[in-house]
Structure formats: C-alpha cells, structure tokens
A and B are shown apart, each in its own frame.
Chain A
Amino acid sequence: MIDFIKEVVNKLVGKKAQQRYCCKDCLCKLNLVLDGEASTAEIEHLQKHIHECAPCFDHYNIEKSVKEVIKHKLEQRPVPASLIENIRGNINKNCK
C-alpha cells in the first residue's frame, strides 16, 4: 500500500518536474512582455529566444491566447438605459 502511494506521489512529482520550463528567466519575462511591462531589451531578448526555443515559443503562444480570449471573447453586457439618468438624479438629490 505504501509502495503504491509512493509510486503515485513520484508520478505526480515527476510530472510536475517535467512541466517546469527550461528557461526560467524567459518565463518570468514572458508575462511582462505580454502585459506591456518589459523593457525594450527584455522584449528583444525574448523575441530572439522564442525563435530558437520550442517550449518557450509554445508557452508564449498559450499565454498570449489566454490574454486574447479574455480580451475578445467575453461578452460585454449593455448598460441599462436608465442608469445614466439614475446617476444624475442620485447626484442631484444627494449633492446640492
């Protein structure tokens, strides 16, 4: 039983280890670049690197796509027609 648990744990730990990326430094910078927070040098370095490194290239594309689905696929709810008038009324009532 204990061996079985050990085996499962090792599998999980092993899997986790595999998920770690080769280029830690790039990965930290990757989100900075995508979020528009990186310096020019950092952007250039990452661009150059992802041309040579397949795991970082894949990771870059996934992170980019996650940002894009949030930005473009979420439906915006229309503002209720009465809201602006209610805001004005509310302000006039409470702030004279």
Chain B
Amino acid sequence: MEEQNSKTTYKSKEEKDSLFEKEFMHLIGPLYNFGYRLTFDEDDANDLVQETYLKAYRFFDSYEKGTNAKAWMFRILKNTFINEYRRKTKEPNKVDYQEVESYYNSDDVNETITSDLRVDSLNNMIGDEVANALNALDVDFRTIIILCDLEGFTYEEMAKILDIPIGTVRSRLHRARNVLKEKLNEYAQSMGYKDQRKKND
C-alpha cells in the first residue's frame, strides 16, 4: 500500500510539475464550475481558477499525499474568492447572510419547511430553473449546497473547506435546503400556472 499522509517530495522541477499536474489538473472542470457559480462571470471564474492553481503550486510542498486533493483545491478557491472577489463584488439584491441566518434560526432548527413542493414537479423542472433557484440563494447557502449535493463532499470535508465546525455545516445545510425548497417551489408554482393557462386556452 502507498504511504499515506507523507509530504510531497520530488527531485526536479520537471518532476514537481508532473506530480502537480497528475494530482490536480483533472479537477479543473469542477473548480471552474464552482468559480462560475460563485461569481456568475466567466472571466472572474477564469481568474479565480488560475489564482487557485498558482497558490496550490506555491503551497505544493505542504500538500500531503493521500489527503483529499479535491477538498484541498476547493478550499483554496473558496478562500481566494472571499479574499479577492467577495469584497469587490456587490451582489445586487443580496440578502445579508446574518439576517437570513437569524431569521431561520428564530425557529427550531429542526423544523422543516415542507411547502407544497412535489416530487413530480421537481422532476419536470429543466436545468435553467434549477440553476435560477440555486443562484437566488445567498452565497454561503449556495456554496454549501454545491459542495454537498453537487460535489458530494462529506460533512467533515465541508467543515475543512469552509473553516467552520461540523455542527455549523449541518445547520447551515439545513437552512440552505429550506430556502432552496422555497425557491424551487416558487418555480414549480409558476410552471403550474403556465400549464393551467395552456389548458384553459
């Protein structure tokens, strides 16, 4: 078995470059899409991914083989986004996260909004509608849904990527899903009205 959690060693720049590419280059698709879903801009996503790879290369010596390369890269990208983009970018109509958090905290965290969301209306949705519902979420809620449901990270990995305790991962995920379901339900209902109108014509 390969030795786990050893520091990355290499003898030459060529060897380093080749190790680096093997370890991280296959992650470019998920990283680019993560960058795009955070910034909604192709150029920003491009810059974000380039910056992420540059940082990863600089810190390659501290990367431990056998740790999750994907989680490591997602963490760098997310930190880069917070440091360099989030300050600059003012999202229009953005609801303050704390506000949302306290609102959803005001009730029992275990309470789940069921609404009238139905499985068949979810199945009838097209990709754009799902994307619009997701994009309507505050960036922290959007991020945790992407990490969990799209990328399949474990709670422990998400805790590391986001620098928050696992308990916060769970409660944020719970609240994010409640808001997501509300948004999906809004789309489902507007679709329903459209269908109804077609029938009445």
Q: Which A residues have a C-beta under 8 Å from some C-beta of B? A: 19-21, 24, 27-28, 31, 35-37, 59, 61-63, 65-71, 73-77, 79-80, 83-84, 86-87, 90-91, 94-95
Q: Which B residues have a C-beta under 8 Å from some C-beta of A? A: 17, 25, 28-29, 32-33, 36, 42, 46, 49-50, 53-54, 57-58, 110-115, 117-119, 122-123, 125-128, 130-131, 134, 145-146, 148-150, 152, 154-155, 173-174, 177, 180-181, 184
Classify the interface of chain B: helix, strand, loop or mixed.
helix
Residues of A within 8 A of B123 (CB): 65, 69
Q: Are A84 and B25 in contact (CB under 8 A)?
A: yes
Instruction: For B117, give the chain A residue with the smallest CB separation.
Output: A62
Residues of A within 8 A of B114 (CB): 19, 21, 59, 62
Q: Are B130 and A73 in contact (CB under 8 A)?
A: yes
Q: Could you count the A-B residue pairs with CB atoms below 8 Å apart for me: how many are there?
A: 108
Classify the interface of chain A: helix, strand, loop or mixed.
helix
Instruction: For A61, give the chain B residue with the smallest CB separation.
Output: B119
Interface centre among B50, B128, B145, B180 (most CB of A within 10 A): B50
Q: Are B112 and A21 in contact (CB under 8 A)?
A: yes
Q: Are B50 and A87 in contact (CB under 8 A)?
A: yes
Kindly provide the distance from the CB of B177 to the nearest chain A CB, expressed in whole angstroms.
7
17 A-B pairs besides A62-B181, A69-B184, A70-B134 with CB distance below 8 A are: A19-B113, A20-B111, A21-B114, A65-B122, A65-B123, A66-B184, A71-B152, A73-B125, A74-B134, A74-B150, A76-B33, A84-B28, A87-B50, A90-B53, A90-B54, A91-B17, A94-B54
Task: Please report the C-alpha to C-alpha distance between residue A66 and residue B150 in the assembled complex, in whole angstroms.
Answer: 11
Task: Please report the C-alpha to C-alpha distance between residue A77 and residue B127 in the assembled complex, in whole angstroms.
Answer: 12
Task: Please report the C-alpha to C-alpha distance between residue A94 and residue B51 in the assembled complex, in whole angstroms.
Answer: 11
Q: Are B149 and A71 in contact (CB under 8 A)?
A: yes
Task: Please report the C-alpha to C-alpha distance between residue A62 and residue B85 in the assembled complex, in whole angstroms.
Answer: 35
Of A28, A35, A68, A91, the contact of B54 (CB 8 Å cutoff): A91
Task: Please report the C-alpha to C-alpha distance between residue A19 and residue B50 in the assembled complex, in whole angstroms.
Answer: 46
Kindly provide the distance from the CB of B42 to the nearest chain A CB, expressed in whole angstroms.
7
